[in-house]
Amino acid sequence: MNQQERHHGEFKVPGGKLVVADLTVSGTRLSQVSINGDFFLEPDEALDDINAALTGLSTDATRDEIVAAVRTALAEDAVLFGFSPEAVATAVRRALARATTWEDHEWEVIPPTVRPTLDNLALDEVLAREVGAGRRRPALRLWDWEEPSVVIGSFQSLRNEVDPEGARRHGISVVRRVSGGGAMFMEAGNCITYSLYLPQTMVDGISFTESYPFLDQWVMQAFRQMGLEAFYVPLNDIATEHGKIGGAAQKRFAGGGMVHHVTMSYDIDAEKMTEVLRIGREKLSDKGHRSARKRVDPLRRQTGMSREAVVEKLMEVFSGRYAAVEGSVSAAEAAAARELVAAKFATPEWIARVP
């Protein structure tokens, strides 16, 4: 790094304040460090303590090392409002280009193409790994499919989640995805699913809890334009005042890539869902509901828009906010996904890996 160059990094704490790191690099060490922003801090002298703690740190310091240095330097009576040592670490690492923002990347939007559900699942792994390896741009991909499926989370028990008789009766295949979270009941046109493929540098210093709303800020903007005020219910539910409309899940891969995806109900046959998903009955009982329709609150009713129009709005807002261009799944990526389906996603060993 240029020893004379001033480095600048910013991090807006989700639901909190802006933290800015201005610093110079001397050799392999941080110098002339200034942490600033619209946060609150008591006592005033604590800011000098933070700057002193960061001065002299290695440019290769990890997030945890930066956090530890800040925490050690702060007096017991120091109070941080609207930010944290973790936020400081993210701002510093962004100044050093160790952590990135939306604006640091060129984005693609991949419009929906009808694919087998298994191909959609495999593409999540293939494209996330390609982004991590630097072989493709980060992207938003909208799913589409025809065959009815239940997609269970990576760590869910097959027998506990799915009623096999109900699945057979309704002709619904059962598959497993790479990310955690709950089951997705997916018939053609009944929900909207998208996946974000991004480098993990974008969530550097952000907790798992914070990363969900951080990566879906654009979705909340799109909902506002559709007349909905949506919000996150920790950890991974998206809801409005009328109830839950969707859930998110993530998987972070070795190599630096990750996938963040969301499934939102559009017009679900709730009675069929409860005949196929055992967990649906338990959740309803736990919530005191007699009918699934009181828990699943479809976007069709809340927006009055067609599914196609909602998808178009999502792509429009994402493209406008992040200057994304239209992209596609390459022939090589599609072929790699089909190979992964055969080797992993379609195998009984994977689908029943948690019996």
pLDDT score of 297: 58
Q: Is the pLDDT of residue 295 over 50?
A: no
Q: Mention every residue, 6+ apart, whose C-beta is less than 8 A from residue 124.
A: 177, 178, 179, 195, 197, 251, 259, 261
Q: What is the mean pLDDT of the chain?
A: 93
Q: Is the pLDDT of residue 290 over 60?
A: no
pLDDT of 141-179, one tens digit each?
A: 999 999 999 999 999 999 999 999 999 999 999 999 999
pTM score above 0.75: yes
pLDDT score of 298: 83
Q: Is the pLDDT of residue 21 over 90?
A: yes
Euclidean distance between the first and the last CA atom of the chain, given in angstroms as a whole number: 52
What are the residues facing 174 on neighbouring strands?
150
Q: Is the pLDDT of residue 347 over 60?
A: yes
pLDDT of 205-252, one tens digit each?
A: 888 999 999 999 999 999 999 999 999 999 999 999 988 899 999 999
pLDDT of 304-320, one tens digit each?
A: 999 999 999 999 999 99
Instruction: Work out the pLDDT band at 283, boundaries 50, 70, 90.
Output: low
Instruction: Work out the pLDDT band at 270, boundaries 50, 70, 90.
Output: confident
Q: What is the DSSP track for 147-204?
A: S-EEEE-TT--HHHHB-HHHHHHTT-EEEE-SS-S--EEE-TTSEEEEEEEEEGGGGT
pLDDT score of 287: 46
HSE, CB side, 13 Å, CA atoms: give it for residue 10. Answer: 8
